[in-house]
Structure 1
Amino acid sequence: MQTNLNQLEPQSLVDAFLKHPPQNFNVQNYADFLPFFSTDFDLLTTLDTPVRQRISKLPAYAYWGKLLHLSTCFIGTTVTEYSLLSPALAVDVLLRKLKQNVRKNTLTIIKDLPINSPLLSTEENTYSAELVCQSENQGFITVEGQALAYVPIDFQNRAEYLARLSRSRRKNLNRKLKSLDLLRVEVLATGDSRFANAIFRDQLYQLYFAVYQQSDIHFDLLSPAFFDAVLQDVQAEGRVFFYWYEEKLVGYNICYIHRGNLVDKYIGFNYPLALSFNLYFVSWFVNLDYAVQQGLKFYIAGWTDPEVKAQLGAKFTFTRHLVWIQQPALRYVLGKFKHLFEADAHWHEQKQESST
């Protein structure tokens, strides 16, 4: 079944996930339902970092912490910004089929449902709102999700964009952007003949893996086979931005042009070189420049680092997760502590309060 509601990425990226799932993911894709995957999920994964660190330092955590790993089914994928839904499935039918398909799991999570997203159509937002309403009526727990960063391309050039930021931020970013004078930027379409080189693809994977290792959250480790498929995909309208210093690859990121947007998906950094060239910040503005040049509507910058992206001028749209817990007692307990799993919502509330 074509799952085309909420889909900001090309279908081939979803297909690559289904064919080459992340490590320890069991992926299913029934013809009359939606893509979903199951894995052992550590409940601490989405906690605020200070809370997670405090819990992990408690006595004997190495032993009792294993109890926090629950068999969990996720409706959706980890390669799409939103949960993929189908207009061919009425909401009540979707929920009935969901409960039929996931009985073996302790938790079932419909992840990353859009809430009045400016990146989607009225039909898509309405369907998600109805799904949230009916799910809550059937005993699902609603958990506030992550902050998806995006930038409307309503400016003509970098100078105009920077002029919207505070003087201190402009000064800081202009200093970081001087690194761009030392770098050579190269843009290749996915499927380019350069990606036929297995040694080159392996180099790119190692740079992705370096970023994965330094991240605070280790959830979905994508495989070399997945990247092989993505990089060699001719049809996907993917763009790989490379940053070279002399003959050294400093880093890259993989984006897609889809639905009139530039969607930023994956990065790879050559540490510590990428840090010395401020590549995170440099790549942000190169991507914005490219979106302007291509006449696109939005630059969609992903879920991570909302505080940094806010300083870079991003706007945010939020999601909700719907959580079904098989055991009523566990449902009651986790429902009482759901606020601990809403890190981005807490950050946004504090940001709003500080600006008033």
Structure 2
Amino acid sequence: MKYFNQLEPNELIANFLSYPPIDFAAWQDDSGTPMFSAKFDLLTTADDDLKKRVVKLPFYQNWRKLLQPNTCFIGTTVSEYALFSQHLAADLLAQHIKQQYSKKFSLTIVKDLPQQSPLLDEITNNYAKNITEQLASLGFIEVEGQALAWVPIDFDDIDDYLSRLSHSRRKNFRRKLKLQSQLVVEVLSLGDRCFLNQQVLDHYYQLYLNVFEQSEIHFDLLSKPFFSQLLQNQNTNGKIFTYSHQGKLIGYNICFEYQNTLVDKYIGFAYPQAREFNLYYISWFYNLAYAKQRGLKAYIAGWTDPEVKASLGAKFTFTKHMVYVRNPVLRAILSKLSNKFESDRQWQDSINGKQS
């Protein structure tokens, strides 16, 4: 099945539906739309000022669970954008979502709606715009989403790419890249025979957990069955870039070649070695070089660490979330505070202000 907004292979979406993140439930509803439910901390994407103010409120520890309602999400955690069937008009899908889920769940969130994304065609962007407007007319509240990083592959080679960055950044990144000479880099395909070995699967999953546990936001913890299926699936055109030092795997990066792009999805690191060898930076430039070698048009680098990715030369495209709050009092409060959930947009605006 082909969805509007799709930037990743069907097999990855099917894997999510079969093996959702731990403590999540996932399904594809009658409209053909993938979705899931989970306990959701309302402060997850709030700015630091709001978080501090809420935590200081009287008896916060006693009522904090009220800020973690069971929530229905229209979308997935493995796709860059919400995915919609191409066989249902935007107004009908918006009505369906509200009728089916707004009374069953305290919160209904249509997540990661693109805003004229350069990674999508005009028809797809127009559909996203239409459904956003339709949801707003039905009482959904508009909340700014995150910044999706991407890089057009319009450079001749890595030296050409680096030449577009400032002198200080070029110097810094060239210094970091020198450590690549001490690493062995291999490109494996998902479905490689090595992933039939349970010890190998366990090792790769643990390196993923290492990254998850040190992340600032803990939301979707992938299960071991999801990860095993991901690594063993031969049909996704997925690649794993592995980084080893003295015969020991210290990091990897899982990407997909899809629709003439390289989509970066998952990383696993061994600490402290990954930091000592600057694997985050080395893998960034290796991915760009691979995408260039393959003749791809773009590298899609994900949602996290926008400041770091901006320093690495990434461009950004933003999303919106459309949120329906069942309780009318809470709905009124959220409508007043919606601008407190725009940290990536505020970061981008501050950067633009400094550059102007």
Secondary structure in 1 matching 2:71? strand
User: Which residue in the other structure is 1:8 paired with?
Assistant: 7
User: Which residue in the other structure is 2:33 paired with?
Assistant: 34
Gaps of 5+ in 2: none
CA contact (8 A) 1:22 1:223 kept: yes
| Counterpart Cα distance in 2 of 1:178 and 1:144 | 39
The alignment status of 1:177 with 2:177, answered yes or no, reads: yes
Secondary structure in 2 matching 1:42? coil
| C-alpha RMSD of matched pairs (Å) | 1.3
Residue type of the partner of 1:334? L
Cα displacement (A) at 1:39: 1.1
CA change 1:140–1:313 in 2 (3 A) is same
Residue type of the partner of 1:220? D
User: Which residue in the other structure is 2:22 paired with?
Assistant: 23
Gaps of 5+ in 1: none
CA contact (8 A) 2:111 2:322 kept: yes
Cα displacement (A) at 1:111: 0.4
| Counterpart Cα distance in 1 of 2:315 and 2:290 | 19
| Counterpart Cα distance in 1 of 2:233 and 2:55 | 41
User: Which residue in the other structure is 1:158 paired with?
Assistant: 158
Cα displacement (A) at 1:31: 3.8
CA change 1:142–1:90 in 2 (3 A) is same
User: Which residue in the other structure is 1:300 paired with?
Assistant: 300
User: Which residue in the other structure is 1:105 paired with?
Assistant: 105
Where in structure 2 are the equivalents of 1:260-339 lying within 5 Å?
Answer: 260-339=260-339
| Counterpart Cα distance in 1 of 2:248 and 2:41 | 38
CA change 1:343–1:198 in 2 (3 A) is same
The CA deviation string for residues 5-34 of structure 1, in whole angstroms up to 9 with x for no partner, is 111000000000000000111112124341
Where in structure 2 are the equivalents of 1:132-281 lying within 5 Å?
Answer: 132-281=132-281
TM-score normalized by the length of structure 1: 0.97
CA contact (8 A) 2:91 2:130 kept: no
Identity %: 53
CA change 1:160–1:75 in 2 (3 A) is same
| Counterpart Cα distance in 2 of 1:202 and 1:60 | 42
Secondary structure in 2 matching 1:93? helix
CA contact (8 A) 1:35 1:75 kept: yes
Cα displacement (A) at 1:56: 3.9
Residue type of the partner of 1:257? E
The CA deviation string for residues 86-110 of structure 1, in whole angstroms up to 9 with x for no partner, is 2201112112221232121011011
CA change 1:308–1:67 in 2 (3 A) is same
CA contact (8 A) 1:252 1:269 kept: yes
Cα displacement (A) at 1:160: 0.1
Cα displacement (A) at 1:53: 5.3
CA change 1:196–1:136 in 2 (3 A) is same
